[in-house]
Protein backbone atom coordinates (compact mmCIF):
# COMPACT_ATOMS: atom_id res chain seq x y z
CA UNK A 1 0.00 0.00 0.00
CA UNK A 2 1.25 3.42 -0.93
CA UNK A 3 1.14 5.69 2.13
CA UNK A 4 -1.17 8.56 1.12
CA UNK A 5 -2.21 11.52 3.28
CA UNK A 6 -4.31 14.60 2.66
CA UNK A 7 -2.58 17.90 3.25
CA UNK A 8 -5.81 19.65 2.20
CA UNK A 9 -8.00 18.23 4.96
CA UNK A 10 -5.56 17.35 7.76
CA UNK A 11 -6.39 20.13 10.20
CA UNK A 12 -6.94 20.60 13.92
CA UNK A 13 -7.23 24.02 15.46
CA UNK A 14 -7.11 24.53 19.21
CA UNK A 15 -7.63 27.81 21.06
CA UNK A 16 -4.98 26.70 23.59
CA UNK A 17 -2.05 26.72 21.13
CA UNK A 18 -0.77 26.07 17.64
CA UNK A 19 -1.35 22.46 16.59
CA UNK A 20 1.32 20.34 14.89
CA UNK A 21 0.00 17.28 13.04
CA UNK A 22 2.40 14.67 11.64
CA UNK A 23 1.74 13.84 7.99
CA UNK A 24 4.82 11.70 7.32
CA UNK A 25 7.82 11.02 9.49
CA UNK A 26 11.01 9.09 8.87
CA UNK A 27 14.53 9.01 10.22
CA UNK A 28 15.38 11.43 7.40
CA UNK A 29 12.69 14.13 7.73
CA UNK A 30 9.50 15.32 9.41
CA UNK A 31 6.53 16.48 7.34
CA UNK A 32 3.90 18.20 9.48
CA UNK A 33 0.84 20.38 9.19
CA UNK A 34 0.90 23.41 11.49
CA UNK A 35 -2.51 24.92 12.32
CA UNK A 36 -2.52 28.44 13.74
CA UNK A 37 -5.54 30.39 14.88
CA UNK A 38 -5.29 34.19 14.79
CA UNK A 39 -2.74 35.34 17.36
CA UNK A 40 -0.99 31.96 17.67
CA UNK A 41 2.69 31.43 16.94
CA UNK A 42 5.64 29.12 17.12
CA UNK A 43 8.23 30.98 19.16
CA UNK A 44 11.73 31.71 17.84
CA UNK A 45 14.03 28.69 17.91
CA UNK A 46 16.82 27.18 15.84
CA UNK A 47 17.81 23.69 14.72
CA UNK A 48 21.57 23.44 14.52
CA UNK A 49 21.70 20.81 11.81
CA UNK A 50 18.24 20.86 10.21
CA UNK A 51 16.69 22.94 7.44
CA UNK A 52 12.99 23.80 7.54
CA UNK A 53 10.54 24.80 4.81
CA UNK A 54 7.26 26.53 5.64
CA UNK A 55 4.65 26.26 2.85
CA UNK A 56 1.38 28.15 3.39
CA UNK A 57 -1.67 26.03 2.56
CA UNK A 58 -4.28 28.48 3.76
CA UNK A 59 -4.38 31.90 5.34
CA UNK A 60 -1.47 34.23 5.90
CA UNK A 61 1.47 34.04 8.30
CA UNK A 62 4.45 36.08 9.32
CA UNK A 63 7.69 34.13 9.05
CA UNK A 64 10.80 35.39 10.80
CA UNK A 65 14.24 34.03 9.93
CA UNK A 66 17.43 35.39 11.47
CA UNK A 67 15.79 38.69 12.42
CA UNK A 68 14.16 39.27 9.02
CA UNK A 69 10.40 39.07 8.54
CA UNK A 70 8.28 38.10 5.54
CA UNK A 71 4.52 37.85 5.23
CA UNK A 72 3.52 34.72 3.35
CA UNK A 73 0.15 34.06 1.79
CA UNK A 74 -1.38 30.84 0.55
CA UNK A 75 0.88 29.36 -2.13
CA UNK A 76 4.11 30.82 -0.77
CA UNK A 77 6.96 29.01 0.96
CA UNK A 78 9.98 30.14 2.96
CA UNK A 79 13.26 28.50 3.90
CA UNK A 80 14.64 28.56 7.44
CA UNK A 81 18.22 27.30 7.06
CA UNK A 82 19.95 25.25 9.75
CA UNK A 83 21.31 27.29 12.62
CA UNK A 84 19.15 30.35 11.92
CA UNK A 85 16.62 31.40 14.52
CA UNK A 86 13.12 31.21 13.04
CA UNK A 87 9.50 31.66 14.07
CA UNK A 88 6.06 31.73 12.53
CA UNK A 89 3.01 33.71 13.68
CA UNK A 90 -0.54 34.17 12.51
CA UNK A 91 -1.17 37.90 12.88
CA UNK A 92 -4.17 37.82 10.55
CA UNK A 93 -7.81 37.52 11.46
CA UNK A 94 -8.31 34.06 9.92
CA UNK A 95 -6.96 30.55 10.59
CA UNK A 96 -3.75 29.56 8.83
CA UNK A 97 -2.35 26.15 7.90
CA UNK A 98 1.20 25.31 6.83
CA UNK A 99 2.90 22.30 5.32
CA UNK A 100 6.26 22.09 7.10
CA UNK A 101 9.30 20.00 6.17
CA UNK A 102 12.24 19.57 8.48
CA UNK A 103 15.30 17.59 7.38
CA UNK A 104 16.91 15.83 9.00
CA UNK A 105 14.84 15.42 12.18
CA UNK A 106 16.54 17.39 14.95
CA UNK A 107 18.53 15.30 17.37
CA UNK A 108 17.32 15.28 20.94
CA UNK A 109 19.62 15.46 23.90
87 forms part of the interface with its own copies (CB under 8 A): no
Q: Give the shortest CB-57-to-its own copies separation in angstroms.
A: 9
20 forms part of the interface with its own copies (CB under 8 A): no
Give the separation between CA 25 and CA 9, rounded to whole angstroms. Answer: 18
Q: Give the shortest CB-45-to-its own copies separation in angstroms.
A: 16
User: Which residue from 18, 36, 61, 65 is in contact with its own copies, where contact means CB under 8 A?
Assistant: 65
Q: Give the shortest CB-47-to-its own copies separation in angstroms.
A: 10
Amino acid sequence: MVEVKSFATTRRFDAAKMQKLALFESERFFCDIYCLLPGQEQKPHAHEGSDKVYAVLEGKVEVRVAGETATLSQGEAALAPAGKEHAVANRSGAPAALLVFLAPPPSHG
